[in-house]
Structure 1
Amino acid sequence: MKIVGLSGKIIASMITITLLAILLVFFTAYLFYYFMDAFWPDYIFEDNIIPKGPELIWVAGTIIIALTITVTVAINLARHIVSPLNSVTKGIRLLAQGDLSARATSFHNAPNETNQLIRDFNLLAEKLERMTNEQRFWNAAIAHELRTPVTILYGRLQGMLDGVFTPDNHQFRSLLVQVDGLKNLVEDLRVVSLEESGHLNLRIQDVDLNTEITAVVEFMKDALATAQQDVELDLAANNTLCDPVRIRQALIALLTNVIKHAVSGHIKIQTRSIQNSLVLCVEDEGPGIPEALAPHVFTAFRRSSDNDVTGSGLGLAVVAAIARAHNGEASCHPTAHGGTRFEMRWPYKQTELTEKNT
């Protein structure tokens, strides 16, 4: 059996020390008695348990040489083992003190197990740093999103209490708009957080997707008309297994994104069955997505610019979360005429997902 790594290095070191000790005793004993016979042939060795005279010198010299060899091998072995472990220990200490950028140093001559420990520690530290940074970003982003509607609600209510605003239907409708925005923000945060934690449960059903899409378009016809958006339906897929509530939520988020950011014109909604997958597409006529934003378009709280204050920055993140929950994916692609094509793709059979959610 071939033994490699740290275990192999320890075993090899022990074997080396043992063999060197045996060879040392053998050769020093041979040399000792050779020189005694050659130069002191008349010396009489005493029959005694404790060596004396030349024998004591030979034993002491052999012990010193053996200890020197043992210490040398032990120091070399310890250097290969202890130094990397000290690096990991230092990194753990720095992490405990709050320095999330701390990393352990790799050693080329260290055993595989030790280097694997270093790699695992560095990976853990990297994930911890990334999660902490993301948590800080989310906390700041959520506080930013909540600040505006809460400030408006507080100001209007305080104004009505002080008599500055008349408590009429117009004021109540204005307050209701802010409350509705808060409700939608909380729901979007809930969907994204549940999906990231693996707890976004779906109610998978055999759904007529064309009916669901038509219902969403009908529901949003006033908002679409106000934004001067004309919708074309090209629905080639019929029944599929999915959570109809979540798919409607994703389609509403896609259409809301188009209403807020696309130029007035034409929206095309398509469904296709491609390679055992169902594809739902929403295509607008521009102005397209900035190149710098494209890789982050489905990331929560990412906007096209710092001056973009429309929406919460969660709509497309919700679309991606719902697609992933269906064992699928969301993507966006530029079109030939300068617009953007958003796609949701998921397996229309959903066998594994059905078993998971039943």
Structure 2
Amino acid sequence: MKRRGLSQQLNWLIIKITFYSFLTSFTTYAFYPTFVGFFSGKFLPPDFDVGNLGDWITMIVTTILTILVSVLVSAKFARQMIVPLESLTQSAKRVAEGDLTARAVGGAVELGEISALVKDFNRMAETLETMSQDIRTWNAAIAHELRTPVTILRGRLQGLADGIFAPENKLFVSLVHQTDSLTRLIEDLRTLSLAQSGHLHIYYDRVNIDTEICTLSGLVKEDFKESHLSLVLKLNPVVIECDVSRFRQVMLAFLENARRYSVPGVIMISCEEDSEGVMIHIDDEGPGIDQALASTLWDAFVRTDASRSRNSGGTGLGLAVVKAIVQAHGGKVYCEQNALKGTRFSFWLPRAKPSHLI
């Protein structure tokens, strides 16, 4: 059975309403004497004037004209409703078929709930398209990042199997480094996946910030010396509630980032306390970061110098992981130029567990 469109149904509804109104008026007028007699107990005379032929013709013509005007008005209103609804139908069909670029149009006249429905649909379609693009980008980036260590591992192992390479300690150390790179990449991807799905669990504890930073600085001090860098700490005793293991992960990521990419000189770590939390700064002396790229540094697989980052062992996920962890605590991350024309990476953590997480 063929379904009637909205315009047809609306027109038919107007016709029926007008016809029923006319029928009710006619019945009341025609049987007026009976109605009056039933309620008053006194029937009107049989010659009661019920109108002549001209009156009836006038009534019928008026009713027909009323129906025509009602249909015209309802048709115009229906068209205003149908344009966005038909656009929604077609766009939804295209989205269902995989075309995520489909968007609905709201029509010339915005009609409250319909206009809101169109906007919500377009927002949903835009979100789906963005997510689809992100998935494709992520898949390509992950495949690219995995390809290098896997190719090196396979080549070295194949060389060992074929007797091309001698089983030397140096070669095995190189293979271990490649597996370490794979392990870091997998763990970073896992952390980001948990954060994006809302399942990155934060285990809160009271943490002495200056003690933790001093401990971590001692662990990386020798590596910094080899890179001709010196750590300078300007810390105040601050105690906050956070996940101590995740805090260490964030600090080590910033320190490793500074060790790899900063020019020889000083790396300064400082903190500023306010009534709601603590801001921690990591400053270097260069080479600095273009401020046009500062806002994108926190995205996954973004590098300011792709070749240098990859050669130095970076996965392109470090700052994205940092941002995910800090935001999971209810904090914020920042990147800006410092007074030495180098880069200042900062992150703010609340003093206590956010109320929405309690």
TM over 0.5: yes
Whether 2:206 is the aligned partner of 1:206: answer: yes
Correspondence for 1:316: 319
Looking at structure 2, the residues matched to 271 and 261 of structure 1 have their Cα atoms a distance apart, in angstroms, of: 22
Q: Which runs of 5+ in 1 are unaligned?
A: 1-9, 30-45
Give 1:158-173 correspondences, 5 Å limit: 158-173=158-173
Q: After TM superposition, where is structure 1 displaced by more than 4 Å over at least 4 residues in a row?
A: 51-60
* Cα displacement (A) at 1:57: 4.6
* Cα displacement (A) at 1:71: 1.1
Whether 2:146 is the aligned partner of 1:143: answer: no
* Cα displacement (A) at 1:92: 0.8
Correspondence for 1:278: 278
1:339 to 338, 342, 354: 342
What SS class does the counterpart of residue 254 from structure 2 fall into?
Answer: helix
What is the one-letter code of the residue matched to 2:181? G
Correspondence for 1:326: 329
What SS class does the counterpart of residue 348 from structure 2 fall into?
Answer: strand
Summarize the Cα distance change of 1:185–1:353 in structure 2 as closer, same or farther, 3 Å threshold.
farther
Residues 205, 242 of structure 1: 8 Å contact kept: yes
Question: TM-score, normalization: structure 1?
Answer: 0.82
Looking at structure 2, the residues matched to 330 and 266 of structure 1 have their Cα atoms a distance apart, in angstroms, of: 22
Summarize the Cα distance change of 1:343–1:353 in structure 2 as closer, same or farther, 3 Å threshold.
farther
What SS class does the counterpart of residue 295 from structure 2 fall into?
Answer: helix
Residues 328, 346 of structure 1: 8 Å contact kept: yes
- CA displacement, residues 122-173 of structure 1 (integer Å, 9 cap, x when unaligned): 1001111111111111111111110000001111111100001112221111
Looking at structure 2, the residues matched to 354 and 204 of structure 1 have their Cα atoms a distance apart, in angstroms, of: 11
- Higher mean displacement: 316-325 or 213-222: 213-222
Identity of aligned residues (%): 40
* Cα displacement (A) at 1:239: 1.8
Give 1:258-297 correspondences, 5 Å limit: 258-297=258-297
Residues 278, 346 of structure 1: 8 Å contact kept: yes
Give 1:83-98 correspondences, 5 Å limit: 83-98=83-98
Q: Which runs of 5+ in 2 are unaligned?
A: 1-9, 30-46
Residues 291, 336 of structure 2: 8 Å contact kept: no
What SS class does the counterpart of residue 126 from structure 2 fall into?
Answer: helix
Residues 287, 341 of structure 2: 8 Å contact kept: yes
Give 1:11-22 correspondences, 5 Å limit: none
Two-structure CA RMSD over aligned residues (Å): 2.7
Looking at structure 2, the residues matched to 72 and 155 of structure 1 have their Cα atoms a distance apart, in angstroms, of: 78
* Cα displacement (A) at 1:185: 0.9
Aligned length: 319
* Cα displacement (A) at 1:194: 1.2
Looking at structure 2, the residues matched to 353 and 194 of structure 1 have their Cα atoms a distance apart, in angstroms, of: 19
- CA displacement, residues 35-62 of structure 1 (integer Å, 9 cap, x when unaligned): xxxxxxxxxxx99x9x997677546534
Give 1:221-232 correspondences, 5 Å limit: 221-232=221-232
Question: TM-score, normalization: structure 2?
Answer: 0.82
* Cα displacement (A) at 1:275: 3.1
What is the one-letter code of the residue matched to 1:75? A
Correspondence for 1:249: 249
Correspondence for 1:185: 185
What SS class does the counterpart of residue 91 from structure 1 fall into?
Answer: helix
Looking at structure 1, the residues matched to 291 and 212 of structure 2 have their Cα atoms a distance apart, in angstroms, of: 33
Looking at structure 1, the residues matched to 136 and 266 of structure 2 have their Cα atoms a distance apart, in angstroms, of: 39
Residues 240, 277 of structure 2: 8 Å contact kept: no
What SS class does the counterpart of residue 288 from structure 2 fall into?
Answer: coil
What is the one-letter code of the residue matched to 2:342? G
What is the one-letter code of the residue matched to 1:349? A
Residues 237, 271 of structure 1: 8 Å contact kept: no
What SS class does the counterpart of residue 338 from structure 1 fall into?
Answer: coil
Residues 302, 316 of structure 2: 8 Å contact kept: yes
Whether 2:72 is the aligned partner of 1:69: answer: no
- CA displacement, residues 241-277 of structure 1 (integer Å, 9 cap, x when unaligned): 1111001101111011111211111000112212321
Residues 254, 282 of structure 1: 8 Å contact kept: yes
What SS class does the counterpart of residue 332 from structure 1 fall into?
Answer: strand
What SS class does the counterpart of residue 138 from structure 1 fall into?
Answer: helix
Correspondence for 2:5: none
Summarize the Cα distance change of 1:82–1:277 in structure 2 as closer, same or farther, 3 Å threshold.
same
Summarize the Cα distance change of 1:255–1:326 in structure 2 as closer, same or farther, 3 Å threshold.
same
- CA displacement, residues 69-99 of structure 1 (integer Å, 9 cap, x when unaligned): 2211220221121111001111111212222
What SS class does the counterpart of residue 286 from structure 1 fall into?
Answer: coil
Correspondence for 1:6: none
Looking at structure 1, the residues matched to 235 and 306 of structure 2 have their Cα atoms a distance apart, in angstroms, of: 37
- Higher mean displacement: 55-64 or 239-248: 55-64
